[in-house]
Amino acid sequence: MENFDKFNLSSDIKKSLKNLRFTKPTEVQSKTIPFAIAKQDILASAETGSGKTAAYLIPLIQQIKTKQNVLGIILTPTRELAQQVADVAKLLVGYKSGINIALLVGGSSMNIQLDQLKKRPKIIVGTPGRINDLISRGSLSLRNFNFFVLDEADRMLDMGFGVQVDKIVNNLSKSKQTLLFSATLPKEIIQLSKKYLSNPKRVDIEENNVIKSQIKQKIINTKTEEKYSKLIDELSVRNGSILIFVRTKYATEKLKKRLIKDKIKSSAMHGDLRQNKRDRILENFRKERFRILIATDIASRGLDIPHIEHVINYDLPQIPEDFVHRIGRTARSGSVGEALSLVTKNQSKMWKSIEKLLDQLKKPNKKNKHEDTKQKNYEKIENNSDNKSVKKRYRKRKKSRSKSRKYHR
Ligand code: AMP
């Protein structure tokens, strides 16, 4: 596939692609667009950085422009991701297209969103909570929405949105096309896909984008009490924008205060901040009004800020997969970036798991081995009815992990 011509896209979309400087489709786009335009359901394992947003937006916009009565809704797990998707959608539909886009996310003014709904949007992008709120108030009917995208489905379940998503799906048109995108395909996602998709086209991406790209990795083994001074040393020798990940919401603010005392300006972002504050911080970071952003794993997925040159893992994440998402915030679209991890003795076990995962992802044909092993372990425990206590322990661990992730973001 050399360029986008093969897809017979409308001339407006071609123009928008040109403006965006998208000359060749990415792998996920090549594998998704023709089938999605032909109205097939899609189950894609693709993560941020693969070009997945345009992989579902191009077919949606093409259908809106060329077919009657196509209305699309895209659900994302976070408000920031929804905003990003809505921005790409606006660029792809082009100015003066007459195709209105509504962004429906929590923490933002209800009145503005009600105004957007009055304009009869053809594309809705949003998070599950706010969309359900609007449905229950009677302000939103999804009865005619027939193109449904569930983006970052694994994260959606992880954040406990399963029931909310179900409610939304029940409100959609009965004759809808569904596209499910997920970074990983654990058993829960396969089950979900059986519920939501009919005879889907499976799209798997051969190589992990994050591993393939130009990310230089550096590890510093250190002691807890020396971590902060090591960080200061590293900050002083780095230029460009830096994203620092810590484990808890409290730790973001604490580190920010310590840096202020050392006359280093930064901002902290976490899930307890009001949405307009979160938006403002991200906007200012995007516009390079400050250089250092300290965040919880709320920022580990989806953010596409090209000028982030360094990701620093001040604390390691709670699960190895989040490490891959974190470092993927740098070296966007083929540029170079650096990932630094400060590893203390009590985090060495987690570091080993991360190394193991990175090794597996570097070997494309072994990529899914990680998923397979995870799934096999899960199935072994789930199916072993004799081993009730193990089963119970495993379920409890899964539940507490999901609870604690909510706390940390
Ligand atoms: P996504 O995975 O959708 O978040 O996209 C990751 C990045 O790739 C974004 O910065 C997009 O603007 C960029 N991108 C997506 N598709 C293409 C393409 N066909 N050519 C060049 N860049 C692209």
The model's pLDDT over 54-104, given as tens digits with 9 standing for 90+, comes to 999 999 999 999 999 999 999 999 888 999 999 999 999 998 889 999 999
Residues 40 and 180 in one domain: yes
Question: Final residue of a domain: which of 173, 204, 235?
Answer: 204
For residue 395, the model assigns a pLDDT of 53
Residues 178 and 289 in one domain: no
Sign of CA dihedral 48, 300, 122, 11: negative
Residue 303 Cα to ligand 1 midpoint, Å, equals: 12
What tokens were used for 107? 């923490």
Does residue 123 sit within a domain?
Answer: yes
Overall number of domains in the chain: 2
Residues 100 and 224 in one domain: no
Which mutation among 33, 304, 305, 332 tests ligand 1's pocket best, with the greatest number of atoms within 8 A of CB? 304
For residue 399, the model assigns a pLDDT of 57
CB 9 within 8 A of CB 58: yes
For residue 213, the model assigns a pLDDT of 62
Q: How far apart are CA 302 and CA 329, in angstroms?
A: 8
Residues 192 and 69 in one domain: yes
- Summarised one tens digit per residue, pLDDT across range 153-185 is 988 998 889 999 999 999 999 999 999 999 888
Does residue 240 sit within a domain?
Answer: yes
Residues 184 and 45 in one domain: yes
Does residue 385 sit within a domain?
Answer: no
Task: Give nearest CA residue, ligand 1 atom 12.
Answer: 51
* Residues in the chain, overall count: 409
∠ at Cα 359 (299, 400), nearest 5°?
50
Domain that holds residue 134: 6-204
For residue 337, the model assigns a pLDDT of 85
| Strand stretches in 259-395, DSSP E | 267-269, 292-295, 308-313, 337-344
What tokens were used for 331? 């070296």
Residue 110 Cα to ligand 1 midpoint, Å, equals: 31
For residue 334, the model assigns a pLDDT of 61
User: Which atom of ligand 1 lies nearest, measured to the CA of 24?
Assistant: 19
Does residue 221 sit within a domain?
Answer: yes
Residue 53 Cα to ligand 1 midpoint, Å, equals: 7
User: Which atom of ligand 1 lies nearest, measured to the CA of 25?
Assistant: 19
Residue 50 in contact with ligand 1 by CB distance below 6 A: yes
Residue 158 in contact with ligand 1 by CB distance below 6 A: no
Question: Final residue of a domain: which of 159, 179, 204?
Answer: 204
Query: Averaged in consecutive runs of 10 residues, what is the pLDDT profile of the chain (409 residues)?
Result: 86 94 92 97 87 96 96 94 94 91 93 96 97 97 98 89 96 97 88 95 76 78 95 93 94 96 94 88 93 90 82 93 85 76 94 88 53 39 35 49 54
Residue 51 Cα to ligand 1 midpoint, Å, equals: 4
For residue 368, the model assigns a pLDDT of 46
For residue 49, the model assigns a pLDDT of 74
Q: Which helix (H) or strand (E) holds 203?
A: strand 201-204
Residue 367 Cα to ligand 1 midpoint, Å, equals: 22
Residues 187 and 325 in one domain: no
Phi-psi sector, 167: left (phi>0), alpha (psi -120 to 50), beta: alpha
Residues 192 and 44 in one domain: yes
Residues 118 and 196 in one domain: yes
Does residue 318 sit within a domain?
Answer: yes
Residue 185 Cα to ligand 1 midpoint, Å, equals: 22
For residue 210, the model assigns a pLDDT of 59
CATH number at residue 228: 3.40.50.300
Question: Final residue of a domain: which of 204, 221, 253?
Answer: 204
Residues 197 and 254 in one domain: no
Does residue 168 sit within a domain?
Answer: yes
Neighbour tally for 351: CB within 10 Å: 19
Residues 122 and 235 in one domain: no
Q: Which residues pair with 294 in a beta bridge?
A: 244, 268
For residue 37, the model assigns a pLDDT of 97
CB 182 within 8 A of CB 197: no
Residues 196 and 266 in one domain: no
CB 237 within 8 A of CB 263: no
Residue 52 in contact with ligand 1 by CB distance below 6 A: yes
Which mutation among 13, 16, 26, 85 tests ligand 1's pocket best, with the greatest number of atoms within 8 A of CB? 26
Q: How far apart are CA 158 and CA 152, in angstroms?
A: 10
Does residue 388 sit within a domain?
Answer: no
User: Which atom of ligand 1 lies nearest, measured to the CA of 20?
Assistant: 12
Residue 49 Cα to ligand 1 midpoint, Å, equals: 6
Residues 189 and 48 in one domain: yes
User: Which atom of ligand 1 lies nearest, measured to the CA of 53?
Assistant: 3
Residue 92 Cα to ligand 1 midpoint, Å, equals: 12
Q: Which helix (H) or strand (E) holds 123?
A: strand 123-126
Residue 78 in contact with ligand 1 by CB distance below 6 A: no
Does residue 369 sit within a domain?
Answer: no
For residue 199, the model assigns a pLDDT of 95
Look at residue 39 and give its three-state secondary structure. coil
For residue 378, the model assigns a pLDDT of 33
